[in-house]
Amino acid sequence: MTEARPPIRRIFSGIQPSGGLTLGNYLGALKRFAEFQGTGPETIYCIVDLHAITVWQEPAVLTRQTREAAAAFMASGVDPARSILFNQSQVPAHAEMAWLFNTVARVGWMYRMTQFKDKAGRNSENVSLGLLAYPSLMAADILVYHADAVPVGEDQKQHLELTRDIAAKFNHDYSVDFFPEVQPLIEGVATRVMSLRDGSRKMSKSDPSDASRINLTDDADAIAQKIRKARTDAEPLPGSMEGLKDRPEAKNLVNIYAALSDETPAALLARFEGQGFGAFKPALAEVAVEVLGPITKRMQDYMADPAEIDRILGQGAERADAIARPILHQTMDIMGLIRSR
């Protein structure tokens, strides 16, 4: 018998402001963040600027990208009246909780993270200490709200397992049942949107090739051109996903189309069976422009008023702080740290 999960009460997720956001961020994260609003759980969304600075960020660029990320959240339907939207560094409880977790988590757990290995490369002695401790801060982001569910793309699965390990070790070490078991929400056909140039790599804002991704700031011409040039094969489309098993580039475009048009890949393939990419790509470009065009436009509108973005982030931070601070204080009490003011 499988045990029924308790209902989700609080959702938390974050995105780094470390570059322009991509179609992968939109389909794997932002679009879903908006969809969780009004479904019951409280939704808390964070622009994780303290994570971004674990690798060098030019200060003025970081400021702009943080505002741009806020604009992207709102343009994608995250409503600051229905969700809490803020930037991480304005709520000090994140960094404070991360320090407490740095004493719980083990160094070996950090070295095993594939994101760390990818970012550090062969240079692992020379990266910032923050890059190594990155997952401990991520666990703090989530657990300082006692959030029980986290919508993310596939690439964050390992970090969420580590979050569960930190929660479990804390509960065990201090003989408490304090931190919840966090549930990853990795669902849908777009949990791993791949590069347009290489079907074996994920679409990423840090890929040196701009043609590999669709940016949320790309205009209609750029989107159409990138899709036209996307790598594919010469075969016609099959009638089912089974037929795309060994065709990663083709499969990626089908998944992107299905996610953008909110239909199943099966329904999509039923319409395109037997057709080649000469027909499929223009149709995909049309859907992409139709969905992303209005988002890009709304982003530009928000970006025209940076003071208003800052005001919204400040207000979100205040609401976030009111939830996080008591949980941080309880954690300190459990650990025997004196708080007399």
- Residue 191 interacting partner from ligand AMP, ligand TRP, none (CB closer than 5 to 8 Å by kind): ligand AMP
Among 47, 152, 214, 268, the residue binding ligand AMP under the rule CB under 6 A is: 152
- The minimum distance between CB 188 and ligand TRP, in angstroms, equals 16
Nearest-angstrom CA–CA distance, 149 and 183: 5
Number of residues that bind ligand TRP (CB under 6 A): 13
Question: Which part of the chain contacts ligand AMP (CB under 6 A), choosing from 35-43, 188-196, 258-266, 318-326?
Answer: 188-196
Q: Of the residues 31, 117, 157, 202, which is catalytic?
A: 202
Provide the Cα torsion 305, 15, 64, 126; round to 10°. Answer: 170
Q: Does 141 bind ligand TRP (CB under 6 A)?
A: yes
Q: Which residues contact 208 (CB under 8 A, 6 or more apart)?
A: none
Among 30, 44, 48, 74, the residue binding ligand TRP under the rule CB under 6 A is: 48
- The minimum distance between CB 30 and ligand AMP, in angstroms, equals 8
Nearest-angstrom CA–CA distance, 218 and 178: 45
Beta bridge partners of 10: 42
Residue whose structure tokens are 């994920």: 202
Q: Does 53 bind ligand AMP (CB under 6 A)?
A: no
Helix, strand, or coil here: 15?
A: strand
Among 25, 66, 136, 255, the residue binding ligand AMP under the rule CB under 6 A is: 25
Of the CA atoms within 13 Å of residue 243, those in its CB half-sphere come to 14
State the binding string over 247-286 for ligand TRP (x if CB under 6 A, else -): ----------------------------------------
Q: Report whether 145 contacts 324 (CB < 8 A).
A: yes
Nearest-angstrom CA–CA distance, 162 and 135: 7
Q: Does 156 bind ligand AMP (CB under 6 A)?
A: yes
